[in-house]
Amino acid sequence: LNCVVTLTESRARTLAEQADAEIAEGGYRGPLHGIPWGAKDIISARGYPTTWGAAPFENQSFDVDATVVERLDEAGAILVAKLTTGELAFGDNWFGGRTNNPWDPEQGSSGSSAGSGAATAAGLVGFAIGTDTGGSILSPAVRCGVVGLRPTFGRVSRYGVMAAGYSLDKIGPMCRTAEGCAVVLHAIAGPDGKDMSVPRGVPFNWDGEADLSALRIGYFASAFEEEQSRRSEEDRANAAATLSTLRGMGFSLEAVEIPRNDLTYFIEYVERAAGFAEFARSGQDQGLRRQNHRGELRVSQLVPAVEYLQANRIRMLLMEELAQALEGIDVLVAPWRSINPLTSMTGHPVVAVPNGFTEQVTPTGIAFMGSIYGEDTLLAFAKAYQEATGFHERHPVL
């Protein structure tokens, strides 16, 4: 699968022995105690390289654990590997090649949380942590047939993690189930005093048995129709079947229209270019595998500040328009691509969930979007859908 950059063997062995001893003595820390996990390799772990998936940074390391690593240590989880990321968090190609899909190794796993999706789907780890700026959790989750949660912007501290787009970056779990995502999010969410985008006083409280009968569920009607001209027949059929399943579960679905805009990538590339300006100017970007990545970093430096600021003014208007369109709606159901750019900008939580397979036995997925800091309701809804369908119980043959 080509999904591991570095095995954290020494650290894992130490933590595993510690977990065994604690559990034997009755010191059980909770559901993540002793569970192996993997970190996307833009997340720093002390004592190991953090390569950002790029050859120029292959030997880079930081003498710090990212906040997400610290919190999972505290929960008793065991970091076993740094997992592949597309170079500088672009795509699924890294300096060691392409990350392959467990369902069909002739295909890529998508990215940029490529290794996180592939390793979780293959059962190499109990869960993985990915990052998402413009779809980097959602896309590999769909391609690899796992559940990927892109939480609300500011839900999880990004301290110790490479910045791709500082106003867009989020950190989230990739698991086999929505319930697994809830367990991991509970461990990693909340302020640390280091990432000022994370507010205080907004706890994540998970109730997997919550009563969902009163929820108002919307669906992005025109997106389902448009997908018919853009997606495979099997993908379209699985999307339609998702709506039928939800109605069969007793939900009344309301047709909703939300604004459309793909300013996300404009904003992301400008912010990324600012962060890597010296890297590009110094010529170190010649070490990147993909020529288009070099071009994007350089061209985006030429964008006038006025245009970047205007884009963010439009972004604020889109946030207001989306809030009005979704007033009273608890969860929105949509093909994931149709809401990915907009929700990347607005910061709403989105979870990608498997919703079937193609004839070639590759997974398809659907997206559920929640309200800001509404991951509790969102994941409870996704859990109910998974229990009604069972697609997560099917695993790739390796």
Positions marked active-site: 40, 112, 136
Q: Which residues pair with 366 in a beta bridge?
A: 353
Task: Return the ∠ at Cα 156 (arms to 77 and 210), rounded to 5°.
Answer: 80
For residue 102, report the phi and psi dihedrals to the nearest 5 degrees: -60, -25
Distance CA 360, CA 153 (A): 36
Radius of gyration of the chain from its Cα atoms, rounded to whole angstroms: 20
- Residue among 37, 34, 229, 222 nearest 116 (CA): 37
127-132 and 36-40 strand pairing: parallel
Q: Which residues pair with 6 in a beta bridge?
A: 82
Distance CA 320, CA 122 (A): 41
Token digits of residue 121: 């789907």
For residue 99, report the phi and psi dihedrals to the nearest 5 degrees: -80, 125
Token digits of residue 358: 């193609």
Token digits of residue 337: 């691509």
CA–chain centroid gap for 332, Å, is: 18
Token digits of residue 390: 């069972």
Distance CA 230, CA 236 (A): 9
Is 270 in a helix, a strand, or coil?
helix
Residue carrying the six token digits 């910045």 = 163
Give the number of other Cβ atoms within 10 Å of residue 117's Cβ. 37
**Exposure string over 60-79, b if 16+ CB within 10 A, otherwise e:** eeeeebbbbbbbbbebbbbb
Give the number of other Cβ atoms within 10 Å of residue 52's Cβ. 24
DSSP one-letter code for 102: T
